[in-house]
Amino acid sequence: MAPRPSEPKTLFDKVWEAHLALPETGENPGLLYVDLHLVHEVTSPQAFAELAARGLTVRRPDRTFATMDHSTPTTPRPFGARPVYSSPATKKQVETLEENCRRHGIELFGWDSPDRGIVHVIGPELGLTRPGMTIVCGDSHTSTHGAFGALAFGIGTTEVGHVLATQCVLQRRPKTMRVNVEGRLPVGVTAKDLALAIIAEVGAGGAAGHAVEYAGPAIAALSMEERMTVCNMSIEMGARAGMIAPDETTFAFLRGRDRAPKGAAFEAEVARWRTLKTDPGAAFDAEVTINASRLSPMITWGASPDMAAPIDQPTPAVTGPDADKALRYMGFKPGETLLGETVHTVFIGSCTNSRLSDLRQAAAVMAGRHVGPGVRMIVVPGSERIKKAAEAEGLDAVFRTAGAEWREPGCSMCIAMNGDMGRPGELVVSTSNRNFAGRQGPGVRTVLASPATAAASAVAGAIADPRRLMEMCGAA
């Protein structure tokens, strides 16, 4: 039940109520207005086909933006050359998106655009993502945008079509949860480690049906890139959305962005954005507290992101059927420490950890070192802008000199539908968000980690604690 006007409200309450076009009534969900609809090539073809079948057009093309990222190959190609797709199906997906955007007047960040990239990277990068917005996309990790105080969540293909036609989406009001993160992250512990620690604490379904607000001094100390990493992983504990109240860090990030308001209009928006915070005394349906100062670098040991533990501690000695099955798939034993496990491939990228700060973190560990024997390392920037900025700083040279592959922007190995994947039986250290069985290729075993841990593991040729190398290179 929605709080009465006199009651203190959460950040979620304020955004939800400002966008509710029709309230829930009995069995009928509420109707929520959508400020920003992000589209990519995988979940949109059927939605556009449904519009065509019904003779409908896109209601608000000015609030709809498209990019190509999931099916796009990331292998380097000569300037001006067309990409070589991994299959006719992936080529068809991209070409269908291009045609649908032309037909409906939707701006597409395509092959020739300097703004192309992973959908959840370019939205914030361009200033399309802003506080107080409702944002949807046919992708699970739309929760990333909640780092700006937006209500952002993934939708299915049918819902994509509904939003294209009406600029609204049917939704039931979720419950609310606050995750309080006290203290401060220790040296060598990153936002990715924090996200994995929260998921391990809450559980894969522990936040199911909830909109989660992250708060506390450790959250306030995070950069916007780090906040996006935390919110990105919200879906991995079952949350409908993840949110962080906007503050001076948020405003500084957005000021001057291409698609953000400018001048007096921006300052007027900032005044409104300052009201987007949870009122004192507002009630949540659930609360969780984490002490960041006690955390260590994290790594997953099973086939779900919640199956994670500090890298220097053993996997759980007592497990249930799901964990036993996951350990068998991974080839690990209960109570085993994963340090020293041979690594075959390292992937740095995805909408979780492909931003410039992530690449800097990995490069700081790898500078002056080389990828271990027999290890393949793929580094994939999240956007054309990030790629250009990284190359201007010489980060690409650090990776290439170390023996890693420097790729074109895209989702790449995160979802393995674009030609980038591991081989059966290989162990992959990945900075992405999901370690499900087969996620990165049939029979591939994936452990999730931070860019620093991934880089350290590439150098060692085995799962490694990044803190030792970070201390040696002064990155800590």
pLDDT tens string 211-238? 999 999 999 999 999 999 999 999 999 9
According to the model, what pLDDT value does residue 1 have? Answer: 47
Assess whether pLDDT exceeds 60 at residue 5.
no
Q: On the CB side of 353, how many CA atoms lie within 13 Å of its CA?
A: 32
Q: What is the pLDDT of residues 33-56, one digit of tens each?
A: 999 999 999 999 999 999 999 999
pLDDT tens digit sequence for 154-191: 999 999 999 999 999 999 999 999 999 999 999 999 99
Give the full edge-to-edge strand order of the sheet including 210-215. Answer: 241-243, 210-215, 175-182, 286-291
Q: What are the backbone angles phi and psi of residue 170, rounded to the nearest 5°?
A: -80, 130
**pLDDT confidence band for 473 (50 / 70 / 90):** low
Name the superfamily (CATH) of residues 11-171. Answer: Aconitase, domain 3 (3.30.499.10)
Secondary structure letter of residue 441 according to DSSP? S
Residue 206, φ and ψ in degrees, nearest 5? -70, -20
Place of tokens 């099916």: 71
Query: Residue 36 and residue 384: Cα distance in Å, rounded?
Result: 21
> Scanning the structure block, which residue is given the tokens 């989702």?
411
Give me the sign of the Cα torsion angle 101, 102, 107, 113. positive
Could you check whether 11-171 and 300-473 share the same CATH topology? yes
Distances (CA, A) of 47 to 33, 35, 164, 337: 18, 19, 8, 46
Quote the CA–CA distance of 118 and 76 in Å, as a whole number. 17
Contact 44, 68 (CB under 8 A): no
Helices (H) and strands (E) in the chain, counts: 16, 19
pLDDT single digits (tens) 245-255: 999 999 999 99
Spatial separation of the C-alpha atoms in residues 211 and 173, rounded to whole Å: 9
Total-model pTM: 0.96
Amino acid at 137: C
Helix or strand run (H / E) with residue 468: helix 466-473
Residue 377, strand partner residues: 346
Q: Does domain 175-293 have CATH number 3.20.20.70?
A: no
String of DSSP letters for 149-191 = T-EEEE--HHHHHHHHHHSEEEEPPPEEEEEEEES-PPTT--H
Strands (DSSP E) found in 11-150: 20-22, 30-33, 36-39, 64-67, 107-109, 134-137
Q: How far apart are CA 205 and CA 207, in angstroms?
A: 6
Three-state SS at 52: helix
Question: To the nearest 10°, the Cα dihedral for 9, 10, 14, 19?
Answer: -120
Mean pLDDT of 374-398: 98
Q: Sort 425 into a burial class: Cβ within 10 Å, 0-12 / 13-18 / 19+.
A: exposed
Q: Which fold has domain 300-473?
A: Aconitase; domain 3 (3.30.499)
Distances in Å between the Cα of 428 and the Cα atoms of 66, 342, 353, 450 are: 30, 10, 15, 13
CB 349 within 8 A of CB 432: yes
Bigger pLDDT: 83 vs 241:
241
Digit-coded pLDDT (tens) for 105-121: 999 999 999 999 999 99
Within 13 Å and on the Cβ side, how many CA atoms surround 180?
A: 8
Q: Judge whether residue 476 has pLDDT over 80.
A: no
Q: What is the domain partition of the chain in residue ranges?
A: 11-171, 175-293, 300-473
Instruction: Using a pLDDT cut of 90, give the percent of the chain over it.
Output: 92
pLDDT at 79: 72
Supply the pLDDT for residue 474: 55
420-452: per-residue pLDDT in tens?
A: 999 999 999 999 999 999 999 999 999 999 999
- Whether 428 and 444 have beta carbons less than 8 Å apart is answered as yes
Give me the amino acid identity at 114: P
DSSP H or E segment with residue 469? helix 466-473
**pLDDT of 196 strictly over 50:** yes
At a CB cut-off of 8 Å and minimum separation 6, what does 332 contact?
Answer: 301, 315, 338, 341
